[in-house]
Amino acid sequence: TMSELIQLQSSLSRIFREALPVSTSLESPQAIKTLQKINQELDGISSTPPTASIAQVVAAYRRSQKVASFHDLKYVCYGAAIRTQDGWCVLGDDQLRDKLLADVERIDESRRRIKCFQALLSSYFAFARYDEQTPKAAQVGWETLRDWLARQRAQFQRDGANKKLRLPGWFTVLTKHENLLTNKPCDRYGADMLRDDSSSVEEARQGLGIPSDSWVMEETILSQMKAAVALGDDPFKTHLDPLLKLVLGQTEMKVSDLLKRRAIALLISRYARCVGKPEQPALRDAAVAVIGNPWLKRTTWDAWVKIASEQPDDEAREMVNGWLTRQLITDFFELLSADGQADQRRLNYWLRFVPVIEGTPWLALGPDAMRNNSQPYRDLRKRAKGRLLRLENPGASSNNAFIMKMGEWLIVEFGMTGNACYVYPATPMPFSLGGVAISLHDLKDRSRGDWLRHKDGLNSWESTFDQAICSKVGYHPQGVVPPRVVQHIANNDSHNFSYVEQYVKKFSLRTENNRVTGGAFWVLTQMGKHPEVDRNLESWGFKYKENRGWWKQ
C-alpha cells in the first residue's frame, strides 16, 4: 500500500543518515558497503526470531493444534526441531508435522510461503541430528522434512523459471548446494576439506545462515573421513593423524560422541584393509576410548565397525585386540617391572604369543601401580579397564601380576624377578577373575598347576617354556600349529574336531558338525579372510567349498 511504501522510504532514509556521514557520496566504498548490507537484509536469509518467543508459540500449537496467524505459523516452522523437556518436538509428532507442512503448502501468497519454507529450512539445519538423546521418531520426522524441502525447492525453482515467483538471493545458494537436501548431504565437500579447502561449505553456511553448531558441520567432518577411506593405502595413511585429531576434538571443531564413533569406525576398518598395517597407537587408543575394548564390548564394537556388507569387521576387531594385548604386555614388562627396568627377554618371549592369547589379558596391580597417578599409569589403567584387578597380599608393594588365557590354559607372570611363571588348566577355573581383587596366594597355588622358573640351564629358559607351553596352547613361531598337534588332529576322532572348534573360535568363526548324520564337519569362512586358518585347515586335510567354507568328512 502507499502508506507502507512511505514507511519503507522513511526507514531507508533513517538507515542512510545513521550509517553514513553527511558528506559521503553514494558512489563511495562506505556507501556501497551499506547498500550491500541493506540488500542482504531485504533479499538474504532472515535471522531467527528469539528462542523464547518461538517456544511459547510451539507450546501453544502443541496444546491447541492450531495457529492464530501467519506470524504464529512462521514461528512454529522456526521451532519445529525444538525439543521440550519430555523429548517432544513438532518433527517427531506425525500428526502435527504433517499438518504443519500441509498448512504451508496451502498458503496462497508466494512470498509468505517462501518465508515459511525458509523457517523450516532453519529448523532442518538446527535439528540435533547427532544428539543420542534425540528420539527415533524425531529422526524419522527430520528425514520427512528433508524430502519435503527437496520437493518444495524443486517446485519453487520451476515457478521461478516460469516467472511465476521472484526468488530471494539465498535461494540461489540453496540450489547450488541442493545436495544438503539429500541422504548424502555433505559428501561433495569431503575431497575439498581433505585439501584444507573449506570455501564450498563456507559458501553454503554463510549463504544459508547455517549455524556453526549445526549437524552440517559435523557431517562435513564425516565427509572427510569418507573421502579419505576411498584413497589408496599410502594417501590414506598420510591423512590418518590429522583426521584423528579432528574427530577427537583436538581442533576448534566440536564433535559429538555419536559422530566420533562413526568416524573412528570408518578409519579403523579402512586401516585393517591396508596391505601394510603396523600398529598405530593413536588409532588404537582412539578406538578403545570411543568405541570400547573389542573383546569386552564385542556387541558394541560389532554394531559400529562393519565391512561394506554391513557385517561385523572381524579383521579390524582382531587387529585392534592384538594391538591392545601387545601394549598391555609391553606396559607390564617395561612400566610395571619392580626395578623400573624393562625385562626385555620376558617381553620378547610373550609378545610372540599374541596371536593365541584370547581376548584382553588381566592385570592385577599392586599398591604402587594402583596409586601412581602419572600419565603412563593412568593410560595403562584406562586401557586395562574391565580386566583390571587389585593384587592383595602382594608381598612387595611394587609387585604386579599378568594373567593370559590361551586355549584351555591360564598363564600367570609376575612383575618382580624371582617369581616363577604358573600354568593352570582353565577348567575348572583355579581362581576367580570376576571381582575387583585377587590374592597373590591364589595366583601361586602349586597344587592346582605347573610352575616354570626363568632360569637358564643346559637350554635357555625360553626353550624350556616352549616345550611346556607351545603344544598345549597350539602355538608355533611361524603361526601354524606344531606338526605333532597336526598329526593328532588328522586322526579324525571327535576330540580332534573339538580342538578345531577351539582353535577357530579365537577368530570368531562358526562351525557346523554334521558327522552324526553322515555329513561333514564345517568351518564357515571365506578363503583369504584368515590366511592362518586356511593354512592350518588345509594341512589338516580340510577341503574348501566356495561361498561356504572348509569341510572334512
Provide the 3-class DSSP secondary structure of residue 172. helix
CA distance 271 to 468: 36
CA distance 317 to 287: 10
Helix (H), strand (E) at residue 550: strand 549-552
Residue 118 confidence (pLDDT): 96
Residue 135 confidence (pLDDT): 93
CA distance 62 to 93: 9
Whole-angstrom CA distances from 89 to 68, 122, 135, 434 are 19, 15, 9, 44
Residue 478 confidence (pLDDT): 52
Residue 226 confidence (pLDDT): 93
Residue 276: CB atoms within 10 A of its CB come to 7
User: Which triple of cell numbers denotes residue 476?
Assistant: 608355533
Contact of 407 with 502, CB cutoff 8 Å: yes
Residue 43 confidence (pLDDT): 54
CA distance 380 to 335: 9
End-to-end CA distance of the chain: 93
- Beta strands 437-439 and 388-392: pairing type? parallel
Residue 42 confidence (pLDDT): 42
Tally the C-alpha atoms within 13 A of residue 40's C-alpha that lie toward its C-beta. 11
If you write DSSP's letter for every residue of 387-413 in order, what string do you get? SEEEEES-SSTT-EEEEEEETTEEEEE
Contact of 90 with 142, CB cutoff 8 Å: no
Query: What are the pLDDT digits (tens) for 317-330?
Result: 989 988 999 989 88
Find where cell 500449537 sits: 61
Residue 516 confidence (pLDDT): 65
CA distance 515 to 530: 24
The amino acid at residue 219 is E
Whole-angstrom CA distances from 60 to 72, 90, 101 are 10, 12, 17
Burial 65-85 (b: 16+ CB within 10 A, else e): eebeeeebbbbbbbbbbbbee
What does the DSSP 8-state code read for residue 195? Answer: T
If you write DSSP's letter for every residue of 485-546 in order, what string do you get? HHHHHHT--HHHHHHHHHHHHTTT-EEEE-GGGT--EEEE--TTTSHHHHHHHHHTT-EEET
- Beta strands 421-425 and 362-365: pairing type? unpaired
CA distance 83 to 516: 59
Whole-angstrom CA distances from 373 to 334, 367, 456 are 17, 12, 37
CA angle 509, 530, 282 (to 5 degrees): 100
Segments of the chain scoring below 50 in pLDDT: 1-10, 12, 15-16, 22-27, 32, 34-42, 479-495
Q: For residue 439, what are the β-bridge partners?
A: 392
**Considering only CA atoms, which of 257, 260, 258, 270 is closest in space to residue 227?**
270
User: Which triple of cell numbers denotes residue 95?
Assistant: 500428526
Find where cell 589403567 sits: 381
**Considering only CA atoms, which of 470, 474, 476, 363 is closest in space to residue 415?**
363
Provide the 3-class DSSP secondary structure of residue 451. strand
CA distance 228 to 225: 5
Q: Who contacts 188 (Cβ-Cβ below 8 Å, separation ≥6)?
A: 179, 200, 223
Q: For residue 174, what are the β-bridge partners?
A: none
CA distance 506 to 273: 20
Find where cell 524430502 sits: 147
User: Which triple of cell numbers denotes residue 524?
Assistant: 564357515
Contact of 291 with 304, CB cutoff 8 Å: yes
Provide the 3-class DSSP secondary structure of residue 549. strand
